[in-house]
């Protein structure tokens, strides 16, 4: 019998991902401010965020209420 795991809501996931990305950006800015020699173990990562314009805010809010998520603010 398969057990269903408790998955975080999409909103919770996006909030945690945004916090993690912001923390990484701050850490990167601090690291860039301090001169250091390149390291063989270092890596540069670029993240592109794109806004999905396929739904209006009202449609997104209706979907979130239907699926038990929170309400998005404008």
SS (H, E, C) 5-74: CCCCCHHHHHHHHHHHHHHHHHHHHHHHHCCCCCCCCCCCCCCCCCCCCCCCHHHHHHHHHHHCCCCCCC
Beta carbons within 8 Å of 64's beta carbon, 6+ residues apart: 11, 70, 71, 72
Distance CA 74, CA 72 (A): 7
CB atoms within 10 A of CB 22: 10
- Reported as a pLDDT band with limits 50, 70 and 90, residue 65 is confident
6-64 tens-digit pLDDT: 666 788 788 888 888 888 877 777 666 555 666 777 777 888 877 778 888 888 888 88
pLDDT at 25: 79
Instruction: Give the global pTM.
Output: 0.34
């Amino acid at each position: 019998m398969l057990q269903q795991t408790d998955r975080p809501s999409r909103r919770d996931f996006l909030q945690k991902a945004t916090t993690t990305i912001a923390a990484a950006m701050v850490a990167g800015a601090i690291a860039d401010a301090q001169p250091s020699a390149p390291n063989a173990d270092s890596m540069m990562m670029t993240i592109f965020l794109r806004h999905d314009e396929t739904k209006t805010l009202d449609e997104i809010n209706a979907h979130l209420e239907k699926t038990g998520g929170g309400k998005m603010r404008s």
